[in-house]
Structure 1
């Protein structure tokens, strides 16, 4: 049986349509952050940047120091989470090496044990040699190394967006 178009809508049909529209509003509101999280990695720039991290006079030859810097692509609302850290060691007069301050197992911050010459991860017992290679524990690979250069009396480090998985040459 066909219903002519000029007959008013039934109460049941109206309530079904109203319910669908009222359900669509919260669904749309929930989908905005979900889509944002899925699309953000595609929309963010991922270029590496050289950052000044120390003066030559700040780090004596043979010393390893924890340095902090701003990530390569901080978000405007990131606040203190835009800051990252690395271990910077001065090997020779103009030769520096830098390692990520995070363990390659689960990202816990590693600490430098000067007397032992080892990086130690307090979370699951990961141990790294002074060159960043794995000595013991669950870490699957060496500490991530940053590129470092000396320019006009300052030490610069090529930073990458976080999370860091590999620094590209």
Structure 2
């Protein structure tokens, strides 16, 4: 194999993920203490595919200037989790995974907490930093 061929094959392994700040909406739109589902352009599709899709995140306003955001996908097998405001838990309908309000595992099979997105408020808008994320964790056999 030539060096260009090896570079082409190994590029995905050594390349840094495409990270971008995405505007979610005006900060004053969100109520302190409330968890809501928000949508943004999916960072996973590759440019060459010609496909653009939307995905979601769970966003909670903690205080006047602080927000947290979680992936909507369970870390077990990637099923979408739902927010249950009564018990303040994220729940996965597929295999009974349950997460606390801070994203930590409460019960079930997930090996890790919900993926957490970096969040900032800039020019009055809430932004989350996205990159392609793993839906599940690869456990060595």
Residues 160 and 110 of structure 1: CA distance in aligned 2, closer, same or farther (over 3 Å):
same
Which of 48, 72, 87 in structure 2 is aligned with 1:101? 72
Moved more, 100-109 or 38-47: 38-47
| Aligned counterparts of 2:81 and 2:121: Cα–Cα separation in 1 | 25
| Aligned counterparts of 2:67 and 2:24: Cα–Cα separation in 1 | 12
TM-score normalised by L of structure 1: 0.67
1:151 corresponds to:
122
Partner of 2:75, secondary structure, is coil
| Aligned counterparts of 1:150 and 1:110: Cα–Cα separation in 2 | 25
Instruction: Find the structure with the greater CA-based Rg.
Output: 1
Residues 123 and 54 of structure 1: CA distance in aligned 2, closer, same or farther (over 3 Å):
same
Unaligned runs of 5+ in 1: 1-37
Which of 21, 35, 39 in structure 2 is aligned with 1:50? 21
1:18 corresponds to:
none
Which of 79, 88, 100 in structure 1 is aligned with 2:51? 79
Residues 111 and 98 of structure 1: CA distance in aligned 2, closer, same or farther (over 3 Å):
same
| Aligned counterparts of 2:111 and 2:85: Cα–Cα separation in 1 | 23
Give the superposed CA RMSD: 2.3
TM-score normalised by L of structure 2: 0.80
8 Å CA contact 1:46, 1:73 repeated in 2: no
8 Å CA contact 1:45, 1:73 repeated in 2: no
Unaligned runs of 5+ in 2: 1-8
Is 1:63 matched with 2:34? yes
Residues 68 and 94 of structure 1: CA distance in aligned 2, closer, same or farther (over 3 Å):
same
Q: Which 4+ runs in 1 deviate beyond 4 A?
A: 42-45
Count, aligned residues: 128
